Each structure stands twice: as structure tokens, then as C-alpha cells.
Amino acid sequence: MKISTLFAALLILISAALPLVIPEAYLYLIGLTYLFAIIVISWDLMVGYTGQVNLGHTTFVGLGAYIAALLQTPLRIGIAVHPAVAIIVGGLAAALVGFVIGVITLRLRGYYFSLVTAILPLVFMQTVFIWRDVFGGEEGFSIAGYALFDTTLSKYYFALILLLVSLAAMLKIVRSRIGLRLMAVRDSEELAESIGIDTTRYKVLAFVLSSFFAGIAGAAIVNYRYTVGPELYDIPLMLLVILSAVLGGLGTIYGPLIGAIVIYLAKNWWLRDLISMASLPINDEIVLYAILIAVGILMPRGFFHELQDRLKH
Amino acid sequence: MRYAKAVLTAVILLATITSLCVQSGQKAEREKVVVGVIGPMSLPEGMAEEKAVKLAAEEINAQGGILGYPIEVVVGDTKLDSNTASTEFRRLATIENADVIIGGFSSGVMLTMMETMAETKTLFLADASSPAHAKKVAENYERYKYWFRVTQNNGSTFALDLADMVKFLKVSGYDASKVYIIRDEHVWTDPVVEALKPLLEAEGVEIVKDVRVPRGYSEYEQLIQDAESMDADLIMPILAIAGTGDILAKQWATLKPNLLLAGHDLAAIDAEFYNKTNGMANYEIFIADGGALVTAPPTEKCKEFVEAYKKKYGHYPESHQAYGAYDAVYLYKMAVEMAAKAGEKDPFDPDVLVKYLEKFDASNPAELTRPIAFYKNHDLMWGDKYVRNWISQWQDGKQYIIYPDSVANGEFKLPPWIEK
Amino acid sequence: MIDVLLKIIVFGAVVGGIWGLVASGFSLIFGVSRILNFAHGAAFVCSAYVAFMLISSGVNVYASILAGLAVSGLLGILVYSLTRPVRKNEVMVIIVTLALALLIQQILLVNFGDRGISIIPLVKGVVELNNLKVTNMRVTSFILAVVSLVSLDLVISKTSIGKRILATSQDSEAAMLIGIDVERIFILVMVLSSILAGFAGILYAQIFAISPETSLRALIYAFAIVILGGLGSLRGSIVSSFIVGYILVVTITFLGARWSEFVMLLAIVTILVVKPTGLFGVEE
């Protein structure tokens, strides 16, 4: 057995044992962090492996969330399917939208994909306000009573298992022939085409898979906190995803995973206290964005790659 | 192998995080009362809540605390994000062991926090104005009974205020028979307009148009001219989320149309509004949400509070959330003391306190910076004798309450360019 | 009907002119340096905030505005220096400029709050055209915007510096070979474009009001416009900023204000589907 496998097993064991030592409120946060990590690694699956910057990943988080929420509670559109079904449908719907958008935008090279995806979440957010009888407008709505789990402990394990399954699936994908071809497309589109790879097809495939996991994560978040709201589409969430993935190191899956966990916990936990101690006219977001700029310039390959390089030498 | 070390680092990282948070959690003998305050701490609303709660705690502690226990204030930041808010609320409730949590702000975030409140069974003396919140208490009392709206009235009561405003203008000699509504594209304005329609109809007032604008909307000049061409007598904004009430006021003052600007504009309540619009907000009539204004405090206690706030922080409350948060601390103290007096075994038990807070009803309001009483669904009671959104006007850099007479400190002034 | 038409023409033109200033610079930066400058919206709001701050502390209005424009220009230099080390890395260029934009937005939020600020209009009064009231400030802004855009176009197409800019945007390596100092051209374009955006911000703050959130809004408008006009095409962005202005005003007039944003965004997405290179763009 390889050492890395052993460590992975150990890590999973620790995560599974956390509820024994950690108070419920932090457990709740860590579970939420796992769901956030799914969003981040699914973003990496697209951006890190195809080099196409998706600025509208939250479109799919929000879509998954709203669709699952609408299907779960009979109070909105009169349908009440089992939460597990709703979550999967949420993921599939996100994947479908991802497919349509991918087919349209990924034919073109350059920045078009980034520009279009940057606008997408705004379009979807408008739908929430305009058809607010269905989507609940700015306020969102609650699915309390129709969610998958009702204790923090069960929610925590649900989030952990979902993260592990998604992680395993995405690792499987990037290590398969698909993953290799995606990286070929990223590194040189011309070269990839010359050896007979249908670059658009692979980019769309990566986008669809990435959207699917984002949708699942969105739907899971709704089941985790019992409410859905337009902020799941919104720009701040998108930025947090970018921040985590870039700090961790694009195109590594593990890097963004670690980045997601560190950043999300930092932002929701100790960063604010740290900053209020400094008593400067700044907030935690200013600090995070400054770090992002610094990392982007000084080590554009992210902490994870840096770390790997240091360890190798 | 090369991943192994990375994984190792992750383990160490996780272990550090774990060890960081193991220390807390156990419930000990009571030594203090923990008051949590939660809000968006980088925005004026949250800052005002935090400062007001701390001021109240300081005052109460100087007088011996609550039943002899000193108050400790713990702060949570929602960052206006539902995920963060639910996490922070849970932290305050279960790690910091807050006996009561005060604050909130923003309907969607509040909706999420109410779920956490129900799970952790924490008393929540809250802000935000959506009718959906009180409805939850009415529909599922046992689950949501810990929630009380303290800071401001249910948003749908704006209909009553707006109808009164139109009536008051008529009495003051400005007959507004045609009204042009500009409102947020948001759920909160729907019940307002729904309730407003019959009230205005009864007065013989016609709504000539009802325009909804999205967040960040700026092209009001077209709407103002549209209103003028429809012979409207007043433009009635019902704006909070759009965030651009200042642009409306500015463009109204620039175009000088022959109609009043009178309605609810959240931005206009801000004491800095006049400066930020370079004085172009002059003559705008607005509704002072939260039942208090720095320039016209409705009660003696409110006057003292406003001055104490200024003394401690160097400026007046930056938002009306301050009044509610300040009142909430005193309200909590009153409820605990009532429970103790009645011989309750644990006067800090939230289930017990709900009963005592409910005693502040129509016949028995708590006289704080505003007189506070609750309806059966724990909504803040509306009325001249309780809290209502005072009809006010900007006049030469100062906010005046112009209606009702019991609290008014100024008179309605017609903009000089209007001829009716 | 004439009234409605007139209203649409007048209001659409002003909105188009202001966004044209923002979008043309955005497009120019992209054309020359292939940098998608997400911090462009920050230049738009910063000038207005600086001017507002100085005016409130009693500085002369025109001096304040000049100072605001200077700060916008400095922001251009900042963007240049931050993106220089990562210019070859498309992903990082997007991320660094985006982070800068949000950093600035948060700094404004912390220091000025989320409510808007506005600058008192330099030109007062209203003109009446066939029952339609138009503020003189709008008229002035329109004229100033058009003058700036036309002179920008003239500078680019007629002067020698413009020719160097054009050469760099067509092929920066070839431009370097024929002795053009490409880096200087980059800086020049960055500064010039940021000042244009800053100027738009000053005009906008006089007609409307500016809040930290406006920076993202300006950026999105710039996006929409350059997508429509075609990435890197200066004339394309100028023309399409007026088209976007008219889409906006027509939607407000006929469908209602609530649809304004939605229709504009949808129109952009539709155009991308039908003609992804925009109206004047060329496929790379």
C-alpha cells in the first residue's frame, strides 16, 4: 500500500472522528466548508484542466439550489419529491444548462467564454427577482421540514460523504484519458487538434461535469441550511471560489481542496478577529483580495505547486 | 510519495484547527449574562447594532447588571450572507452560550437565521421587516416562538403610514388625488402596495402607475416626466433595496416637476443623506423607519440614548437599527426581572422568557426609546402610541417629523417650485 | 409618438455616451495589450470618490475633478504594473485585475459606506424640447462624451502615436521589431483609458450618484458593450455603447423599468449566440 493512500485514509478517519471532539457549531461550519470545497474543486476541473476561465460558476450552484428547493417543498410549486432525488435533479439541471452554454461559447477561443460566463449569474439572478412568486425574490424561501437531514451530526456526515464521493469522481476523471486530453487542450490547443482531439468537445465535457458537481453542491447547501436565496448566484461567492482555487493551485484538485478549506474557515472564523485586533480601517475581504493579488503575481501556480516543488528539492 | 507530504501538511493543518476549538463548550454555573449581537458588521446597520448593544450593556452593568449578573456582549458578523449568518448565529448560541441574540438585518439572511434559532432554541430579538418572518411564528408557534421583532414594524405597515401621509397632505392643503408609485422589484413591496390600494381608494386617490425598478436603477428622470405627463400629484417611492433613492431625489430636485416626492425611501432616513445629495434632498417627504429620528426623539429615553451614543462614539446613530438593538437589551432585562419576580426557577430560560415578553401587549407597552409591544405573532405593534414610521420631511439640512401631531416637531413645507 | 421617440433618442444618447467612454477604454486596453481589465470599473468610481472627497473638504471643484482624473490615471499605472509579471498567463490576468477591482470596492465600502455619493452638477438648469425636460448637465455630458470619443478616434487613426498604438494592437511583436517601445504604448493606453473611465465617472456622479457597487455595474456595461461591438474594436465599442443605451431606454419605455437590466443582459447573450464575434469583431 502506498504511503499517500495511507495518509488519505488517515485524513478521512480524522474527518469522520471530528464530531467526537468538536462542538456542534464548528462542526456545522466545517460541514458547510466541505460543500463549499465541492464547488471549488469542480471549478478547478474546468478552469485548471482546460484553461478556460469560468467566471459564472455560481450560476450552476444557484440553479442546483433553486431547482432542488422547488422540487422538495410542496409550498412553492406543489411538488414534493424525495430530497435525494431533488439534489440529483438539481445537479442534472445545472449540467444541462452547462451543456447548452458550453456548446454555444466554447466553440470560440480567447476570452469570449469568460465574458459570457461573467454575465450569466446576473441573468439568472434577475429571474429570481422577476418571477418572485416562484423563486421568492431577494428573500429566498425556506424548505424547513422537507430537508434531507435534521441534526447537525447527520448533516455533517452527509457533507463529508458527498465531498469524498465528488472528490473521488473528479480525481478519477482527471486521471483518466479524458483528463489527459483536457490538459493537452489547455497546454496547446493547436497541438491537441493536430493529434486529432476534438478540443471543443472535451471543453464542453469538462464544463458539463463541472456544472453538475456545482449544482449538486448548491442543492446540498440548501438541504444543509434549509433556505435558498439569490446570494448563491452572487459574485461574492464566485470570488471566494476563485480565491480558494488560485491560492491552492489550479489544475491539481488537491490544491483547491486545501485552499477551499483554509479560506472558508478563515473567512468565517478567525480572520475577522485577527483583523479587528489590528484595528485598521479594513475588512477581511480586503485582506483576502490583497493576498490573492500577491499570490497571483508571486506564485501564479499556487501554494500547492510551490509546496510540491519545495518538497521535491 | 510527493502527494504524501502534502497530505501530511493537510493533516497537521486540520489538527491545529481542531485543537483551536476544543477548549470551549461546557455549560458552567451562571456568572454572567451573555448577550449576542449579530449583523453585517461592515455596514452602518450592523455597526449601529453593535455599538447600541454595547452602550446598553455598559449602562446596565454600571447599575449592577441583570439580577446581579454582569452582561457580556459577544458579536457575530453575518456579512449579509446566509451561510455565514447561520454559522455565526450557531456559534453565538452554542459556543458563546448567548442567552439572547439581538439584531439581524436583511430579510433573506433573517429567514436563514430563524432556522438556526429554532434549532438552537435561542431567544432572538430581531430586526428586518419582512412579513414572512412573523408569519412563520404564527404558522409554527412552537418552533419559531423565540423570535420577536423589536427594531422596526412589519414592512406591510408602510401601507398604513403611506395612506396616512396622503391624508395628512390633504389636510395640510395639498390634495394628492393621483399617485405615481416607484418601488423596489422585491417581495417586500408586494404586500405594501396590496394593502395600500384599498386604503387610497377609500380616500378617492388614484394610483396612476405602479413602476417596479431593479437594484441599482438610475434612470428616474424618465419616470418623473412620465408621472408629470400623467398629471400625478405625487411620486411615491417605496424603495429600500434599489439603493438609489438619492438619485431619485436629485433628479426630482433638478427637474423641479410640479409634483411632490413623498413616500418611503430608506436612503432618506440616513442623517448624511442631505450632504450626500448636495442638499438636493430638500423637501423630500419620507417615512422614518424604526420609529425614531435623531432630530426628533419620540421619548425622553430616546433623547438620552441619542446623546449618550454621541458622547460615547462621537457621532449620532448611523442607522435606525441602533434604537431597536438598544431597546432589545433593556427589554431582555425587564423580561428576566419579571420572570425572577414571579418566582420562575430559571428566569433565563428562553421558553420562560417568551411568556414574559408576550406580556408586553397593546395594554402594556415597554416604555423604551420607543414604546414597544407585540402582537400575537411577535410582530412589533404599530400605532401612534407604539412604534410607527413617522412621516418626516427634509427641510434645509434637517429632518423634521411632520405627522402625527403628538410627536411632530416641524410643519409640512411645500417646495417653492410647486404650484397647486 | 413623437414625444416618446424624442425621449428615447435623448435619454439613450446620454447613457450611450457615458458608457461609451468606459467601454472604449476597456476595448482599447484589450486591443493593445490583450489584458481584460476587470479593474476598469474601479477607475470609473475612484475619480468620483476622490472628487467628492475634495469638494466636501472645500477644494475648488475643477481642481478636485482634475485630482480625481489623476487618481484614475494612477490606477491605470497600477493595473499595468500588477499585470506585467503575469501578462502571458490569461487566467492570472483575469484574477489579478478582478481582485484589484474588488479590493478597491471594499476599501470604498469600508471608508464611505454603501450609500451613494454625488457631485453637484456643474451646469444647472433644464432645457425643454417639445415638452421633454432635459437637464443641461445631460446635454453637456453628451457633448463632452462625444467630443472625447471623436478626439480619441482621431488620435488613434490620424496621429503618429495613434499609428504606433494601432501597430501594437495588431501585432505587438512586430511592432517591437520596427522599433516601437511597446511597453510605453501599454502604459500610455492604460493611463489614457483609465482617465476616460474616470471622466465618465465624474459625469455620471453629476447626473446620477455613485456607490461602491457602481464599479461592478460599470464593468458589466463595459463587458456588454465590448461583447456587442467585438473585442478590441474601438469603433465597435463606440457604436455599440449607443446601441446598449438605446436598448436600455427602449426597454424602460415600453416594457417597464423592472425589465431594463434583464433585457440588456439577455440581448447580449443572444448576440453572442448569433454572432459571437460581435458586430465589428474579428475572429482570433
Tally of domains in chain B:
2
Residue B411 lies in a domain: no
Of B95, B108, B115, the CB nearest to A23: B95
pLDDT over 90, % of chain C:
44
Q: In chain B, what are the helix, strand and coil shares in percent, each to the nearest 5? A: 45, 20, 40
C113 and chain B in contact, CB less than 8 A: yes
pLDDT tens, B191-232?
899 999 999 999 999 999 999 988 888 889 989 999 999 999
Question: Looking at the structure, do residues B277 and B350 belong to the same domain, yes or no?
Answer: no
Closest CA to B91 of C216, A77, A23: A23
**Three-class DSSP category at B109:** helix
C254 and chain B in contact, CB less than 8 A: no
Determine whether the interchain pair B241/A138 forms a contact, defined as Cβ–Cβ distance below 8 Å. Answer: yes
Q: Residue B267: how many CB atoms within 10 A of its CB? A: 26
User: Where are the domains positioned within chain A?
Assistant: 23-234
B138 DSSP 8-state letter: H
Count of B-C CB contacts under 8 Å: 97
Question: Looking at the structure, do residues B91 and B212 belong to the same domain, yes or no?
Answer: no
Residue B409 lies in a domain: no
Mean pLDDT for chain C? 89
Question: Looking at the structure, do residues B315 and B229 belong to the same domain, yes or no?
Answer: no
Chains contacting A (3+ CB pairs below 8 angstroms):
B, C
Cα(B5)–Cα(A313) distance, rounded to whole angstroms? Answer: 13
pLDDT tens, B173-193?
999 999 999 998 887 888 899
Closest CA to A252 of B160, B6, B115, B151: B6
Is pLDDT above 70 for C186?
yes
C267 and chain A in contact, CB less than 8 A: no
**Residue range B26-42: mean pLDDT, rounded:** 84
Q: Which of residues 194-233 of C touch B (CB under 8 A)?
A: 208-209, 211, 213-214, 217
Question: Looking at the structure, do residues B139 and B51 belong to the same domain, yes or no?
Answer: yes
Q: Which of residues 136-195 of B touch A (CB under 8 A)?
A: 136, 143, 185-188, 190
Closest CA to C54 of C138, C141, C120: C120
Cα(C132)–Cα(A294) distance, rounded to whole angstroms? Answer: 52
Q: Residue C153: how many CB atoms within 10 A of its CB? A: 15
Domain region containing B362:
33-153+299-372
User: Chain A contacts of B11, Cβ < 8 Å?
Assistant: 7, 10-11, 14
Q: Which CATH class is domain C2-274?
A: mainly alpha
Please, what is the Cα angle at A227 between A226 and A229, to 5 degrees? Answer: 160
Closest CA to A287 of A268, A267, A259, A261: A267
Question: Looking at the structure, do residues B186 and B233 belong to the same domain, yes or no?
Answer: yes
pLDDT of residue B11: 52
Question: Looking at the structure, do residues B70 and B196 belong to the same domain, yes or no?
Answer: no
pLDDT tens, C142-156?
999 999 999 999 999
A254-258, B265-269, C179-183, C280-284: least confident range: C280-284
User: Chain C contacts of B223, Cβ < 8 Å?
Assistant: 257
β-strands B390-395, A141-142: how paired? unpaired
Cα(B90)–Cα(C31) distance, rounded to whole angstroms? Answer: 50
Residue B19 lies in a domain: no
Q: What is the distance in angstroms between the Cα of C113 and the nearest Cα belonging to chain A? A: 12
**Residue range A221-247: mean pLDDT, rounded:** 91
* CA-CA-CA-CA torsion sign (B212, B216, B219, B220): positive
Q: Which segments within B3-50 are labelled E, that is strand?
A: 33-39
Decide: B357 and B370 in contact? Cβ < 8 Å: no
pLDDT tens, B384-402?
889 999 999 999 999 999 9
Joined grid coordinates for residue B365: 407597552
Q: Which segments within C38-147 are labelled E, that is strand?
A: 126-129, 132-135
C115 and chain B in contact, CB less than 8 A: yes
Question: Looking at the structure, do residues B144 and B160 belong to the same domain, yes or no?
Answer: no
User: Where are the domains positioned within chain C?
Assistant: 2-274
Decide: C234 and C27 in contact? Cβ < 8 Å: yes
Residue B294 lies in a domain: no
User: Chain C contacts of A287, Cβ < 8 Å?
Assistant: none
Cα(C261)–Cα(C143) distance, rounded to whole angstroms? Answer: 25
Looking up cell 464593468, which residue turns up? C219
Question: Looking at the structure, do residues B397 and B270 belong to the same domain, yes or no?
Answer: yes
Please, what is the Cα angle at C68 between C64 and C72, to 5 degrees? Answer: 170
Question: Looking at the structure, do residues B270 and B393 belong to the same domain, yes or no?
Answer: yes
pLDDT over 70, % of chain B:
93
Complex confidence, ipTM: 0.87
Q: Which of residues 329-388 of B touch A (CB under 8 A)?
A: none
Is pLDDT above 80 for C277?
no
C228: pLDDT confidence band, cut at 50, 70 and 90?
Answer: confident
Angle between helices B44-62 and B321-341 (to 10 degrees): 40
Cα(C202)–Cα(C210) distance, rounded to whole angstroms? Answer: 9
Q: What is the distance in angstroms between the Cα of B137 and the nearest Cα belonging to chain C? A: 32
pLDDT of residue B263: 95
A8: pLDDT confidence band, cut at 50, 70 and 90?
Answer: confident
Q: Which of A1, A15, A21, A24 to mutate to test the interface with B (most CBs of B within 10 A)?
A: A24
**Residue range A128-136: mean pLDDT, rounded:** 86
pLDDT tens, A238-275?
989 998 998 888 888 989 999 999 999 988 877 766 77
Q: What is the CATH number of the domain that holds B61?
A: 3.40.50.2300
pLDDT of residue A191: 85
Chains contacting C (3+ CB pairs below 8 angstroms):
A, B
Of B243, B255, B273, the CB nearest to C135: B255
β-strands C126-129, B371-372: how paired? unpaired
Q: Which segments within B19-166 are labelled E, that is strand?
A: 33-39, 71-77, 100-103, 123-126, 147-149
Residue B99 lies in a domain: yes
Residue B192 lies in a domain: yes
Of A129, A226, A304, the CB nearest to B6: A304
Exposed, middle or buried: residue B73 (CB in 10 Å: 0-12, 13-18, 19+)? buried
Q: What is the distance in angstroms between the Cα of B170 and the nearest Cα belonging to chain A? A: 35
In sequence order, the 6+-apart residues with CB closer than 8 A to the CB of C264 are C224, C244, C247, C248, C251
Please, what is the Cα angle at A309 between A304 and A310, to 5 degrees? Answer: 100
Cis peptide before A256 (omega within 30 of 0): no
**Three-class DSSP category at C165:** helix
B29: pLDDT confidence band, cut at 50, 70 and 90?
Answer: confident
Output the CA–CA distances (angstroms, integers) from residue A60 to A42, A57, A97, in the order listed: 11, 6, 8
Decide: B398 and B273 in contact? Cβ < 8 Å: no
Cα(B402)–Cα(C3) distance, rounded to whole angstroms? Answer: 38
Q: Which residues are paired to B394 by β-bridges?
A: B399
Cα(A104)–Cα(A112) distance, rounded to whole angstroms? Answer: 10
Question: Looking at the structure, do residues B220 and B97 belong to the same domain, yes or no?
Answer: no
Cα(A151)–Cα(B396) distance, rounded to whole angstroms? Answer: 56
pLDDT of residue B88: 92
pLDDT tens, B351-388?
999 999 999 999 999 999 999 999 999 999 999 889 99
